[in-house]
Amino acid sequence: MSASAQLQIQRALAPRSSAAGLAISEPAVVRWLLVGIAIAFLGIFLFLPLVVVFATAFQQGIDFYLRAFQDPDTLAAIRLTLLAAAIAVPLNVAFGIAAAWLIGKFDFVGKSLLITLIDLPFSVSPVVAGLTFVLLFGLQGLIGPWLIAHDVRVVFAVPGIVLATIFVTFPFVVRELLPMIQSQGNDEEEAALTLGASGWQTFIRVTLPNVKWALIYGVILCNARAMGEFGAVSVVSGHIRGLTNTVPLHIEILYNDYQFVSAFAVASLLALLALMTLLVKSLVEWKAAQQFAAQSASEAEQTP
Amino acid sequence: MKWVFKQRSIVPGFGLSLGLTVFYLCLIVLIPLSVTFLKASTLTSHQFWHVVLSPRALASYRLSFGASLIGALINLIFGVLVAWVLVRYDFPGKRLFDSVIDLPFALPTAVAGIALTTIYASNGWLGRPLLVLGIHAAYTPLGVAIALTYIGLPFVVRTVQPVLEDLDKELEEAAASLGARRWQTFTGVLLPTIFPAALTGFAMAFARAVGEYGSVIFIAGNMPMRTEITPLLIITKLQEYDYAGATAIAVAMLVVSFALLLPINILQRWSSGRRTSESPIDTPLGVSLKPVYVQKDNL
C-alpha cells in the first residue's frame, strides 16, 4: 500500500480532538456571523445586479420585453455580435490548442516569456486595446492611408470590431487548456507514439479526449467574453447604429436614450448567457473532478 | 553541457505549434501593441509629459487608482472572509454562492454597469436608503469604488480558496494543543499561510480595476477633473482626434500595467511555493478552473 494511502487511513482512524476541549473551531456565534456577512456581501454585490437586470427588463410586462427584440437596430446588433464571436472564437480555439500543446508538452528557451506575452491582453485595459487597433488601421494610423487608398475600412467597420474581439479574448482558451495538458503529462502521448500512432492520431484520440472538458469551458468563456466585450469594441466601432454596434454597445445607446426597459431587456440576453457560462463551469469542474477521481483510483490500483 | 533550445522529446508538432503560436501572437498582440509605443515615440519628451501630467490626467489617475485601491482593499478583507466561509462552513445554498462568485467574469461589463447604476441611483433599491443617510452613491467616486469592488470580487476569493482547501488541519490542531486560543491560531497560523495568496488576489484585483471601463462608465458621472476615469480620458481625446495625447496616456497606463505584472508574477510564485500541492501555471488577471486535477501529492 502506498505511503499516502496509509496516511489517509491513519487520519480517518485518529480521533477528533474537539472532545478534549481544544480550540480547533470557532464558536457557533462567530461562525454564523461570518456566514451572514459573507451572504450579505455576495448578495449585495453579485445577486442584486442580476436581479435588477431581470426585474427591470420585465417591468412593463412580457409584451414590451418581446417588442424590444423587434427593433431592427437591436437585431442588427445581435447579428454583428454573433458574427464577431463566430470568427473570434474558432480562431482563438485553434491558437489556444496550438499554444497549449506547445507550452504544455515541450520545454524550451523563452517559454516563460511566451506565457507572459500570451497573457498580455489580460493586463491591457480594453480601451487601450481598442486604441492600438485605431493606431494601426485608423485614418492617421500606420497602414490606415494605404487601406483607405484601397477602399478597405477596418476601423469604424466590422473588421475592426472582429479584430478587437479577437484581441481581448486571445488568452482564454490557452489559459483553460494549459493546466489540464500540463497535469496530464506526456506519458499517454508517448505510449501512443511508440505504438505507432501518427502525431495527429495521437492528438485527436489521446490528448483531446483527456482535455475535452477544459476545452469546452475555454470555448464557453471565450465566447461569453467575445459577445460581451465593451471597451475595446467601443473605441473601434464608431457607434453607427444598425451597422457597427454590437449588443453591449446597443445596450449603452438604449440606456443613454433613457429607454431603460429596452436596454435591460437586451441586457437580460447577455445575463442569461452569463448564467449559462457559470452553469457550464460548475458542470466542467464536476466532470473534471470525476475524471481525476477515476484516474487516481486506477493509478492507486496499479501502484503496489 | 551543450546549450539546447528545446529539450529532446519524441512528442511531435513542436515546429508547427511554435510557428502557429508565434505567428498569431505577433499578428494579434505584438504588432498592435508595438504600434502604440511607436506612435508615442513620435512625441517629444516635453509633449509626452505635458499630456501625461496634465491636471485633468492627474485627476483621472487619482480617481482610477484611488477607487481601484479602495475596491481591492474591500475585496481583500471580504474576499478572505468569503473564501473562509466557503471552504470551512456548510450552509444552505453554499454551492450556489460558490458558483456565482465568478459572475464578474462571465457577465458583460456593460450589463453590470447599467445594473449597478440602476441600483445605486437616487431612486434605486440601495440608492434611496443611502440617500436617506445622506450618501450619494451613483455619479460620485463612491459609485466608481463600488463598481470596482464588484469587478475585482472573484480575484481574492479564487486565489485564497485553494490555499485554504490545501491547509492541513493538523497545523491548527497542533497550535490548539499547545494552548493557543482560536483567535491566536487564526492570526498566528492561518493568516500568514493565506497572506501571499490574498496579496496576489489583491494585486490582481487592483490591476484589473485600474483599466476597467464598461462597468464604471455608467455609474461614474464622467465629469472631467471630478469623476472621469483614465480610460474615459483616452476615449475623449480620441474623439477630439488628439491621437497623440490619447496614445501618451495609453502608454502611461500600459507601463503601469506591465509594472504591476512583475510583482504579481513574483507574488504568485511566492504564494504557490507555500502550498503543499503543485499549482498549475497560474497566469495573472484571470480565473481558471479549480485545480482539482493537479493535487498530485494525494496520489
Q: What is the pLDDT of residues A209-250, one digit of tens each?
A: 888 888 998 999 999 999 999 999 999 987 777 778 899 999
Whole-number Å distance between alpha carbons of A145 and B29: 21
Whole-number Å distance between alpha carbons of B17 and B23: 10
Q: In total, how many domains does chain A have?
A: 1
Whole-number Å distance between alpha carbons of A85 and A228: 10
In-domain check, residue A111: yes
Contacts of B118 in chain A (CB under 8 A): 52, 56, 260, 264
Beta carbons within 10 angstroms of residue A289's beta carbon: 15
Contacts of A255 in chain B (CB under 8 A): 114, 218
Quick one: DSSP state of residue B294?
Answer: G
In-domain check, residue A118: yes
Whole-number Å distance between alpha carbons of B116 and B147: 7
Domains of chain B: 64-276 (1.10.3720.10)
- Tell me what ipTM this predicted complex has: 0.84
Element (H, E) at A69: none
Domain hosting residue A181, numbered range: 68-295
Beta carbons within 10 angstroms of residue B74's beta carbon: 20
CA angle B229, B230, B231 (to 5 degrees): 95
**Selected residue with higher pLDDT from B76 and A189:** B76
pLDDT exceeds cutoff 90 at A202: no
Q: Which of B3-12, B41-50, B82-91, B169-178 has the highest mean pLDDT?
A: B82-91
Percent helix, strand and coil across chain B, each to the nearest 5: 70, 0, 25
In-domain check, residue A19: no
In-domain check, residue A22: no
Contacts of B99 in chain A (CB under 8 A): 278-279, 281-282
In-domain check, residue A58: no
Q: Are the beta carbons of A127 and A205 closer than 8 angstroms?
A: no
Quick one: DSSP state of residue B206?
Answer: H
In-domain check, residue A304: no
- pLDDT value at position B73? 95
Residue written as cell 496530464?
A184
Residue written as cell 486604441?
A131
Residue written as cell 450556489?
B96
Q: What is the pLDDT of residues B225-269, one digit of tens each?
A: 888 999 999 999 988 888 889 999 999 998 888 888 778 877 777
- pLDDT value at position B10? 79
- Cα distances from B209 to residues B31, B67, B153, in angstroms, run 25, 8, 10
Q: Are the beta carbons of B149 and B74 closer than 8 angstroms?
A: yes
Q: Are the beta carbons of A190 and B10 closer than 8 angstroms?
A: yes
Of A182, A230, A278, the CB nearest to B214: A230
In-domain check, residue A86: yes
- pLDDT value at position A7? 67
- Cα distances from B90 to residues A78, B1, B292, in angstroms, run 41, 56, 20
In-domain check, residue A53: no
- pLDDT value at position B241? 86
Mean pLDDT of chain A: 86
CATH of the domain at A102: 1.10.3720.10
CA distance B110 to chain A (A): 6
Q: Is A108 helix (H, G, I), strand (E, B) or coil?
A: strand
